[in-house]
Structure 1
């Protein structure tokens, strides 16, 4: 049974690490404007997703288990902007945000390695006691959710699609094929809206 629990922990951790790589990988090859550019009505942008996940990992794998991350996250001191963690100011450098994310992830990895899945911490949300297992599942889901946002935002920025460099996770087709595919999908949507 212990082997199954260890395997479960390592599987969950590996899934979290894969999602982290995807989110950071979506920044590759883009300039400052494009990593910060808001492409939804709520301002979703690539660098903001990394900044947001930094706070999530620091909180869930740090504060919750009494293992606080040793750096202050400066944006948490700003109470006037409820979504301050979802975008980068012009004064915040990309390297500063990404490097802090890597440090937070290393801190989270140390917490995951040090504790059993049954270790209990105290979370503000969801309120009350939580196990490392629950936090690991939650953060894996949260990071994959934002990796999906990053997929869409990156495709809107420059058309780049797929999981990450070297792992496209999409059929290998040329731009013309994808254009025709999009047209087929658009036509199907229009016909359905018109009643068939």
Structure 2
């Protein structure tokens, strides 16, 4: 007998997959490597997790009148410097940021569980004409944002040590050795050179 389709559970599965992929990118790396800025805009793994915590605390907290009970000074503070949510200070440990994200995650899950998909919330940082949305719409937005940042983390992690994929069982890449990948990359570089 087939089970009834549960759209909320389906959306939660996608969100959870993106969350787990983002946190998994930190596994096995040094403190230096999780904090290293590897793009010109400073993108780093621990900062992506910190940012995701802030995003979920807002969208599944304030938006639905269920504020996350802990202060996030880099997010809520009027004197927070630009991009303060995108990197970990020397006083913020990996363990603290991951634990915070897991607490935010639990708070968000409680909001998702408590409300119907058509429940309406107000996103105060969106333009006035776009600020009222359903839980369904907000879930889709946060899934898209979390997946986007998990993709950023995938590239940053690959730059650090070559690891790719959503977890240690799913690389999402052809299973080839280092020599094959070197030859493949060389062929792509040669092709690109033809267009200089």
* TM tier, smaller: over 0.9
Give aligned pairs, total.
Answer: 189
Q: Secondary structure of the residue that 2:122 maps to in structure 1? A: strand
Shift of 1:78: 5.8
Residue of structure 1 equivalent to 2:169: 166
In the TM superposition, what are the counterparts of 1:4-83 in structure 2 within 5 Å? Answer: 4=5, 7-76=6-75, 77=77, 79-83=79-83
CA contact (8 A) 1:35 1:46 kept: yes
Contact 1:78 1:84 in 2 (8 A): no
Question: Unaligned 5+ residue runs, structure 2?
Answer: none
Name the SS for the 2:121 alignment partner: strand
Structure 1 Cα separation of the partners of residues 121 and 163 of structure 2: 40
Deviations 1:32-77 (A, max 9, x none): 0000000001000000000000000000000000011111113232
Superimposed CA distance per residue, residues 8-52 of structure 1 (whole angstroms, 9 cap, x where no aligned partner) = 211111101000000000000001000000000100000000000
* Change over 3 Å in CA distance of 1:154–1:14 after alignment to 2: same
For the residue of structure 2 that corresponds to 1:42, the secondary structure is coil
What CA distance in whole angstroms lies between the structure 2 residues aligned with 1:80 and 1:108? 24
Per-residue deviation at 1:125? 3.3
Give 5+ residue unaligned stretches, structure 1.
none
Who is 1:101 aligned against? 101
Please give the TM-score of this superposition, normalised by the length of structure 1.
0.93
Shift of 1:160: 1.2
Deviations 1:96-115 (A, max 9, x none): 00000000001001111111
Quote the Cα distance in structure 2 between the aligned partners of 1:184 and 1:48. Answer: 34
Give the Cα–Cα distance (whole angstroms) in 2 for the partners of residues 120 and 162 of structure 1. Answer: 35
Is residue 46–residue 153 contact of structure 1 (8 Å, CA) maintained in 2? Answer: yes
In structure 1, the partner of 2:154 is 151
Alignment TM-score, normalising by the size of structure 2: 0.93
